[in-house]
A and B are shown apart, each in its own frame.
Chain A
Amino acid sequence: GPKVLQIPSHQIIDMGQMVTLNCDPVSNHLYFYWYKQILGQQMEFLVNFYNGKVMEKSKLFKDQFSVERPDGSYFTLKIQPTALEDSAVYFCASSSSANTGQLYFGEGSKLTVL
């Protein structure tokens, strides 16, 4: 079936550094999402993105976070600077429609901030 690819699968960085998580969504999907899962906790919505713009973001989407998808390339989540509490698995997802709840997820990018 359709796949969402995430790069890297795991990254370890020092607090204060910048990190970019990359997502290759399902081709022809128009809606993109990032979700965050801290170890032992529920997966939580971070942001959704459509037509080049952030449509909605949660309180977890701090000012240090940004997303973009320049010209159909990777959909990226950038954190600058990183903090210890940013350690989590970040899941990218994409969808062909806005309100069906049917998303295609990647395997996740595990971020460890030291």
Chain B
Amino acid sequence: AQSVTQPDARVTVSEGASLQLRCKYSYSGTPYLFWYVQYPRQGLQLLLKYYSGDPVVQGVNGFEAEFSKSNSSFHLRKASVHWSDSAVYFCVLTSNSAGNKLTFGIGTRVLVRP
């Protein structure tokens, strides 16, 4: 069985501050890991992905995430947030044989205060 845990349901940060969203996964095989974001009144969008190789992956809009096999984690970071980063962020797990059957975390709602 596989699972994804996002321990923070809500995070509030001030504009310009740094942001880190935590994600832990459980999977015995080789994981494919993603962060998806849902902005208000929009569908989920892919922010970044990790398949293998360099554990730090870059995404759109200045986001990056770091994979740690030893910690079973895939935390998301941004150095300086903008008000437009207010959204719900989902950590997602799958594998190369899962047929795009994704396992979602519950999501972290981020509110950026001006």
Q: Which of the four size classes fits the interface of chain A?
A: 20 to 34
* Those of A1-40 within 8 Å (CB) of chain B: 1, 3-4, 31, 33, 35
Q: Of A3, A100, A106, which contacts B100 at CB under 8 A?
A: A100
For residue A68, CB closer than 8 A to chain B, the reply is no
On chain B, the number of residues with a Cβ less than 8 Å from chain A's Cβ atoms is 26
Q: Of B43, B49, B96, B98, which contacts A4 at CB under 8 A?
A: B43
Hey, which chain B residues are within 8 Å of A58, CB to CB? 101
A45 to B104, CA, bound (A): 9
What's the nearest-Cβ distance from chain A to residue B45, in Å?
A: 8
| Residue picked from A43, A91, A106, most chain B C-beta under 10 Å | A43
A102 to B99, CA, bound (A): 11
> Are A43's CB and B90's CB within 8 A?
yes
A40 to B49, CA, bound (A): 25
A58 to B92, CA, bound (A): 17
Q: Of A41, A42, A48, which contacts B101 at CB under 8 A?
A: A48
> Are A99's CB and B100's CB within 8 A?
yes
> Are B98's CB and A42's CB within 8 A?
no
> Are B49's CB and A91's CB within 8 A?
no
> Are A102's CB and B49's CB within 8 A?
yes
Knowing A42-B104, A42-B105, A43-B104, say if A99 contacts B98 (CB, 8 Å): yes
A45 to B39, CA, bound (A): 21
| Residue picked from B32, B44, B98, most chain A C-beta under 10 Å | B44
> Are B104's CB and A101's CB within 8 A?
no
What's the nearest-Cβ distance from chain A to residue B41, in Å?
A: 7
Hey, which chain B residues are within 8 Å of A45, CB to CB? 101-103
* The 3 residue pairs across chains A and B that have the minimum distance between CB atoms: A105-B44, A105-B43, A43-B104
Q: List 17 A-B contacts (CB under 8 A).
A: A42-B4, A42-B104, A42-B106, A43-B90, A95-B100, A98-B99, A99-B96, A99-B99, A99-B100, A101-B32, A101-B34, A101-B92, A101-B98, A101-B100, A101-B102, A102-B46, A107-B42
- Partner-B contacts on A (CB < 8 A): 1, 3-4, 31, 33, 35, 41-45, 48, 55-56, 58, 91, 93, 95, 98-108
